[in-house]
A and B are shown apart, each in its own frame.
Chain A
Amino acid sequence: MPKLAIHADRSTSGTLRFPAHPIDGLAGTSFKHQHLQSILADGDRDHGFFEVHAENYMGAGGPPHAALTRIREDYPVSLHGVCMSIGGPQPLDKAHLGRFAGLVERYEPALVSEHLAWSTHDTTYYNDLLPLPYTEATLRRVAEHIDEVQEAIRRPLLLENPSTYVLFKESTMGETAFIREIVRRTGCGLLLDINNVFVSATNQDFSALEYLSDYPLEHVGEIHLAGHAEQEDDEGDRLLIDSHDGPVADAVWKLFDLVVGRCGPIPTLVEWDSAIPEWPVLKAEAKAAQAVLDRHAALQRGRMHANA
């Protein structure tokens, strides 16, 4: 059985850095600690990349860091923050931002992302991605927060669109207009979560296709795919829940194909955070995404040859 090493903090040695491992055109999966031995035993260097939730690696040491170090040696890693509370009105938690920047420095991730949402208010942490109204006031505040994060990590952040269940009566603009203006003001990139688009479109009764044609696709640096669950709203209509607990839905695969057709083979992650299956099941979902990326990459090359 492959062993992990302790005291594997390479960054403190000052000289040994991680390999660069390019992420362009690759599909990846969430990294779950319980899959580590299967991944190492598998030894499949063809697997694209792994994404981790930053907060799980904010402890001082121990198995989480040993595992991530081992993974980072062989694969590109994407660092995904879940609770910076960028979409909240109160100042960012400086200690948390410092820990986040520390992880970026230590693991040299290929991608760094966070959410358009909030999770902390006053001193309470609610452990959910909570929604915000889209107004001039929130636009200014979110832009300030992203500036602050990008200054701390010294690189652009990818901002993820939320899945939402309610709308705010006080909102004065749509989500795509809000996101477009955030990009213009901060220079951040975007993480387009296509499952979130589909979930929100169903829940808020708008067209996912229209959302995507209005969304600034040229700034997308990463795509997320995930499974969702189904409930009912007060009127008995379908209410989708962004549950990350199953395979990607057919409708989401179709939207993915369309997006990749428009913007090329962007690094794509299959998220699976609950009811986590055995490693081969998750790996197969990533392979399916990789096939879509490869097909469009080949089409793109074909077009370039035709134009040459």
Chain B
Amino acid sequence: MQTLSKCHAETADGLDYPEGLVHGLLDPGCATPALVAGPKGKAADMRFNVYRNNVTVSLIDALAAVFPATMRITGETFFRAMARFHIRNTPPTSPLLFEYGRDFPDFIERYEHAQSMPWLADVARIERAWLDAYHAADAAVLEAGRLALIPPEQLGDLVFAAHPATRIVRSAYPAVTIFSANRASGSVGRIDATAPESALVTRPALEVEVRLLPPGADIFLGRLIAGERLGSAAATASTCCPEFDLAFAIRTMLEAGAVGAIQHGG
């Protein structure tokens, strides 16, 4: 139970009524605020509970809408309990609910009851990236034909404009396979993957696409969309990852619509 002073602030100038209500909205330990009542001397506990319920349930629903695969993995009861903790700790700071849940994957990583699912936070990170891509600005993607026109000796100097939707999510677990199985309709079979996976999230037109990046391509693409030259991005990827295949990485990048126009060089 909270102390009375924390639950109910004084209302002096007639304009601090939110201060009198908000603690009780997210904290069930706070009693019904003294500044509200029912009509004709009626009590206000059940009445105030309508607001408490609206706030908590609608925010849990908002997280459930952003993280459907995460919820499918944990089951609804587990997910809603976890979301309720997160909402109390980290309520939204923007009225745009599609911006909510950015801290949720980190919360999941620390959540004691989710420790047996170490890949769960990364699945949530892919889902958060999916929604960012969904709402990202519309922009043209680089057509494969444009790149074919560039003489091979000039390729290394190219710099690309990042496409606004493109996101890369790296995981030490097979998060892309788990994400894909749980976002698709139909039953989720046994997942045998064990290798680390990185996701490339793009939205070349109106559909968000999530694909598994080949080894080293996460490093290569990450550097490219940060504005590095193609040659130097490829060199770094090769150094970090001996299996890195530049031609395959470029093909994946073009198919996915991961970059915008050529910004420099060519």
Give A residues with C-beta under 8 Å from B. 4, 6-7, 9, 55-56, 58-66, 82-83, 85, 88-90, 93, 96, 118-121, 123-128, 130-133, 135-138, 141, 165-170, 203-206, 231-235, 237, 239, 241
Per the bound structure, the CA–CA distance linking A232 and B43 in Å amounts to: 12
The reply to whether the CB of B67 lies closer than 8 angstroms to some CB of chain A is: no
Q: B95 to A125, Cβ gap below 8 A?
A: yes
Per the bound structure, the CA–CA distance linking A61 and B206 in Å amounts to: 9
- Most chain A CB within 10 A, of B21, B37, B50, is at B50
Closest 7 CB pairs of A and B: A59-B135, A61-B138, A83-B95, A60-B137, A234-B43, A166-B36, A137-B14
Rounded to whole Å, the gap between the CB of A174 and the closest CB of chain B is: 12
**Given A55-B96, A63-B206, A234-B47, residue A169 in contact with residue B36 (CB < 8 A):** yes
**Given A137-B13, A169-B37, A234-B42, residue A126 in contact with residue B50 (CB < 8 A):** no
Q: A96 to B95, Cβ gap below 8 A?
A: yes
Per the bound structure, the CA–CA distance linking A61 and B204 in Å amounts to: 12
Per the bound structure, the CA–CA distance linking A203 and B49 in Å amounts to: 14
Rounded to whole Å, the gap between the CB of A122 and the closest CB of chain B is: 8
Q: Across the two chains, which residue of chain B brings its CB closest to A61? A: B138
The reply to whether the CB of B54 lies closer than 8 angstroms to some CB of chain A is: yes
By a CB distance below 8 angstroms, the chain A residues around B58 are 127-128
Q: A235 to B21, Cβ gap below 8 A?
A: no
Per the bound structure, the CA–CA distance linking A231 and B93 in Å amounts to: 31
Rounded to whole Å, the gap between the CB of B83 and the closest CB of chain A is: 13
The reply to whether the CB of B51 lies closer than 8 angstroms to some CB of chain A is: yes
Q: A170 to B19, Cβ gap below 8 A?
A: no
Per the bound structure, the CA–CA distance linking A140 and B137 in Å amounts to: 39
Q: Which of B18, B39, B54, B59 contacts A121 (CB 8 A)?
A: B18
Q: B36 to A234, Cβ gap below 8 A?
A: no
Rounded to whole Å, the gap between the CB of B23 and the closest CB of chain A is: 10
Not counting A120-B95, A127-B58, a sample of 15 additional A-B residue pairs whose C-beta atoms are within 8 angstroms of each other reads A61-B138, A62-B138, A88-B18, A124-B92, A126-B25, A127-B62, A127-B97, A131-B51, A133-B35, A137-B14, A166-B47, A169-B36, A203-B47, A204-B39, A233-B47
Tell me the chain B residues, 124-173 only, with Cβ under 8 Å from chain A. Answer: 133-140, 164-165
Q: B91 to A205, Cβ gap below 8 A?
A: no
Per the bound structure, the CA–CA distance linking A234 and B17 in Å amounts to: 23
17 contacts across the A-B interface (CB closer than 8 A): A59-B135, A59-B136, A61-B136, A121-B18, A124-B93, A127-B54, A127-B59, A127-B97, A132-B17, A133-B14, A137-B13, A137-B14, A165-B47, A169-B36, A203-B47, A231-B50, A239-B47
The reply to whether the CB of B98 lies closer than 8 angstroms to some CB of chain A is: yes
Q: B39 to A127, Cβ gap below 8 A?
A: no
Q: B21 to A239, Cβ gap below 8 A?
A: no
By a CB distance below 8 angstroms, the chain B residues around A66 are 206
Rounded to whole Å, the gap between the CB of A2 and the closest CB of chain B is: 13
Per the bound structure, the CA–CA distance linking A141 and B35 in Å amounts to: 19
By a CB distance below 8 angstroms, the chain B residues around A90 are 18
Per the bound structure, the CA–CA distance linking A303 and B43 in Å amounts to: 49
Rounded to whole Å, the gap between the CB of A62 and the closest CB of chain B is: 5
Rounded to whole Å, the gap between the CB of B78 and the closest CB of chain A is: 22
Q: B19 to A235, Cβ gap below 8 A?
A: no
The reply to whether the CB of B40 lies closer than 8 angstroms to some CB of chain A is: yes
Per the bound structure, the CA–CA distance linking A138 and B94 in Å amounts to: 24
The reply to whether the CB of B11 lies closer than 8 angstroms to some CB of chain A is: yes
Q: A121 to B22, Cβ gap below 8 A?
A: yes
Q: A168 to B36, Cβ gap below 8 A?
A: yes
Q: A166 to B136, Cβ gap below 8 A?
A: no
Per the bound structure, the CA–CA distance linking A241 and B51 in Å amounts to: 10
The reply to whether the CB of B4 lies closer than 8 angstroms to some CB of chain A is: no
Per the bound structure, the CA–CA distance linking A128 and B206 in Å amounts to: 30
Q: A239 to B39, Cβ gap below 8 A?
A: no
